[in-house]
Amino acid sequence: MTAQHAQEDWIQTAHGRLWHCVIGADRPGVPLLVVHGGPGFLSMTETISELAAERPVHFYDQLGCGRSDKAADPDFYSPEHYVRELAEVCNALGLSEFCLMGFSWGALLIALYLLEEQPSSVKAAIFGGPLLGTPSWDADQRENIRRMPPDVQKAILEGEQNGDYGSEAYQNAMMAYYRRHLCRLEPWPGYVLEAFGKLNMDVYGRLWGPSEFTITGKLKGYDLIPRLSALTIPVLLTCGDFDEAGVKTLKDCQMAMANAHLAVLPNASHLHHIEKPDLFLGIVRGFLRESLERNQTNEFRPC
């Protein structure tokens, strides 16, 4: 976390308290609200907190995740409820204008929020390694699996056929896949290991499934890609060239929107923002600077 002071508090929502913190609260720039991935993960402030040198950067843990309350009714864990929760967070923060950043599942969540709520206060959005359509995500994972060693492919396919996701073979294959496509740092940083240790598997399983590439939850078949053309604010999509989020898929998503840009970080994967922090931060800072200036001048300036 940046040396700047982090102010932590709680946001009360209809279904429970959410952990929230802001870094750089006194900075003059347009605030940034960061939405974590998962589902069931938590906010990792590393790297992103460096953006607080220019602007307030807000983080919150979704219900059932990290430091926030658990849902009294597990049926809460659905895209629709989480969108309403995000709207509550935005209202509670009282920001007259701000930018949104979402990672993986968090990108789908902010895209759905933008499409359903159509907030005029959001000036730009950043989709990091985004899940925007489960069918295309699944196709990209199948292609990645086909490039894995034969023993890894065999263990994954046998685990899926038998429904035995806890077997040693499936778990070892899953980790081999993750070290190629989820995080390529060796070893994984301690804060990444700690965050994964706190993953709420009830949320993850209900919404997604037993692994990044085996999809059995509520998001199976969920697809926002046909609706992306409705997004007109500036959008930046980022990914690594080894990302779970396929480069070609994200190029198609970029082309579906009128004002979108795509940055592919070399030799990086799903957690590309912590694998290549300086490059990621430079790209994001340039995008925010250009996008917010464009909003003020109403002129198009390529990013």
Q: Is residue 147 part of a domain?
A: no
Give the C-alpha separation, 198 to 19, whole Å: 15
Number of Cβ atoms within 10 Å of the Cβ of 17: 15
Residue 295, pLDDT score? 67
Tell me how many domains the chain contains.
1
Q: Is residue 126 part of a domain?
A: yes
Residue 293, pLDDT score? 85
Q: Is residue 117 part of a domain?
A: yes
Instruction: Report the CATH number that the domain containing residue 28 is assigned in CATH.
Output: 3.40.50.1820
Give the C-alpha separation, 44 to 55, whole Å: 18
Q: Is residue 160 part of a domain?
A: no
Q: Is residue 288 part of a domain?
A: yes
Range of the domain at 257: 6-134+186-297
**Residue 139: HSE in the Cβ half-sphere, 13 Å Cα cutoff:** 12
Q: What are phi and psi of 238, to 5 degrees?
A: -125, 150
**Total length of the chain:** 303
Residues 6+ positions from 268 with CB-CB distance below 8 Å:
184, 240, 241, 242, 243, 275, 276
Residues 29, 280, 104, 205: is their CA dihedral positive or negative?
negative
Q: Is 103 exposed, middle or buried (0-12, 13-18, 19+ CB in 10 A)?
A: buried
Average pLDDT over the chain, rounded to whole? 95
- Active centre residues (catalytic): 104, 243, 270
Q: Is residue 144 part of a domain?
A: no
Residue 299, pLDDT score? 39
Q: Is residue 109 part of a domain?
A: yes
Q: Is residue 148 part of a domain?
A: no
**Residues in the chain with pLDDT < 70?**
1-3, 295-303
Give the C-alpha separation, 19 to 21, whole Å: 7
